[in-house]
Amino acid sequence: MNVFRLTGDLSHLAAIIILLLKIWKSRSCAGISGKSQILFAIVFTTRYLDLLTSFISLYNTCMKVIYIGCAYATVYLIYAKFRATYDGNHDSFRVEFLVVPVGGLSVLINHDFSPLEILWTFSIYLESVAILPQLFMISKTGEAETITTHYLFCLGLYRALYLFNWIWRFYFEGFFDMIAIVAGVVQTVLYCDFFYLYVTKGWFSRPYRLHC
């Protein structure tokens, strides 16, 4: 494992923990898109079905279990425990516009036409756009809490670091996965406006307002 993948994984884990702590400590899920969190839960579920069929390493297994567990814990907090604080009116992105095309694309373009491979490909495509309901929600409300911007920054940083991970693997291991790289580039591009404002305009210390 190279340093880019490790730091990418840690950034991803930090994003998940930040979000969970934000909801639990504030006893509120205001400003959080439940739809994005459902999509991420679907991403982890469909991607890590190989937990039932193969073992790579203890680290790999633990991270997969943590991602799945935290994803469903977040969904539970939003739609059950703190449901009264969930802003469903602003979380109005039509997720079927993401899931249906992604499902069709994963059937048409994949590495191997088998159930597990199609579901893995589906998870890669879906993750690249799963944050859109959250960004759409911010665009409707006009701002996000500082802690939410930290969550988004860590999530975007994770994907950017994975791009460097793939570059590293290409040059030192000869590994190249076009599906994962293209999806990762798409996902990183979606964060570009947010990254720019977070770093240059000080959104890390005050509410973030999305340019529309």
Q: Please say if the pLDDT value at position 132 is more than 80.
A: yes
Average pLDDT over residues 192-209: 59
Cβ-contact 130, 39 below 8 angstroms? yes
Looking at residue 159, what is its pLDDT?
87
Residue 39: which pLDDT band, with cuts at 50, 70 and 90? very high
The rounded distance, in Å, linking the Cα atoms of 24 and 20 is 6
Q: Please say if the pLDDT value at position 201 is more than 60.
A: no
pTM: 0.89
Q: Please say if the pLDDT value at position 19 is more than 90.
A: yes
Q: Is 208 helix (H, G, I), strand (E, B) or coil?
A: strand
Q: Please say if the pLDDT value at position 55 is more than 70.
A: yes
Average pLDDT over residues 107-123: 95
Average pLDDT over residues 43-72: 94
Average pLDDT over residues 148-176: 89
Looking at residue 199, what is its pLDDT?
65
Looking at residue 198, what is its pLDDT?
64
Longest dimension (CA), the chain: 51
Average pLDDT over residues 124-132: 94
The rounded distance, in Å, linking the Cα atoms of 185 and 18 is 24
Q: Please say if the pLDDT value at position 189 is more than 90.
A: no
Alpha helices in 50-114 (DSSP H): 58-76, 96-108
The rounded distance, in Å, linking the Cα atoms of 151 and 157 is 10
Number of other CB atoms surrounding residue 169 within 10 Å: 16
Report domain extents, the chain: 3-200
Quote the Cα angle for 205-8-191, to 5°: 50
Residue 5: which pLDDT band, with cuts at 50, 70 and 90? very high
Looking at residue 208, what is its pLDDT?
47
Please enumerate in sequence order all residues whose Cβ is within 8 A of that of 45, keeping only pairs 6 or more positions apart, or say none: 68, 71
Pairwise pLDDT comparison (193 vs 207), residue with the higher score = 193
Average pLDDT over residues 191-202: 66
